[in-house]
Amino acid sequence: MKKCPVARLGFSKWLLPALRIPLETPAGLAIDKLESSVLSILVVLLLTLASGDDLASLYLRRGNLRLGLTIGLIAFVVMIASAIPVTTLFFNGKDLSWGRMLPWMPWVLIFVLANAFNEELLFRGLFFGRLQPFLGKFAINVLVAIPFTLLHTGVDYSADIWMFIGMVFPLSLAWGWTLQKTDSLWGSILFHAAMDIPVAFSLFSKL
């Protein structure tokens, strides 16, 4: 998904050259995504602790871990199994084959897990615990899904932006439901990461 612009400080401008990794490679994009996500995540974690709250207030807790892992694993299996047609049809993937894509898999996993952790923490982790007691489960899920969806209106990797937005909104609701059902962020992070797999393959295929 699209990177939140305030989360990036550009450390990869010196990190990637130091590692001798070009940005316009699967490894470069993955490390760039990891760097910007880690910075954003650390800020949220440190400010939460400084405010006197613990990390459980961000749903970084065990919860129903078995259910969360099950949902995430099913999503990963489905998205990997359907990666080529989904990436080609919805995200304009170029010249895709498993022979070409398999070497990308470590970088795909880094990319999608970093992005999913970042976005789930910034949206659902931060707001559900604080606002759900006042608004209720349904209202907070919808209210968080709306700005999350709007944040993605400017992406350039979708074949059809309106179709993409029509996919993002129900997915956002599904990730919120997963958090509520498991009382933890881990299931929604894995579910979210799985659904980002075609996006990563699409970006990498165009390098």
| Percent of all residues in the chain with a pLDDT value above 90, rounded to a whole number | 88
The pair of structure tokens assigned to 27 is 């490894």
pTM (global) more than 0.85: yes
CA–CA separation, 184 and 66 (whole Å): 11
Cβ 107 vs Cβ 30: under 8 Å: yes
* In the predicted structure, residue 70 carries a pLDDT above the cut 50: yes
CA–CA separation, 89 and 159 (whole Å): 7
Cβ 183 vs Cβ 66: under 8 Å: no
Residue ranges per domain, the chain?
Answer: 5-205
> How far is CA 65 from each of CA 53, 92, 185, 192, rounded to the nearest angstrom?
22, 35, 9, 16
Question: How does pLDDT run across 142-165, given as a tens digit for each residue?
Answer: 999 999 999 999 899 998 999 999
The pair of structure tokens assigned to 105 is 């898999």
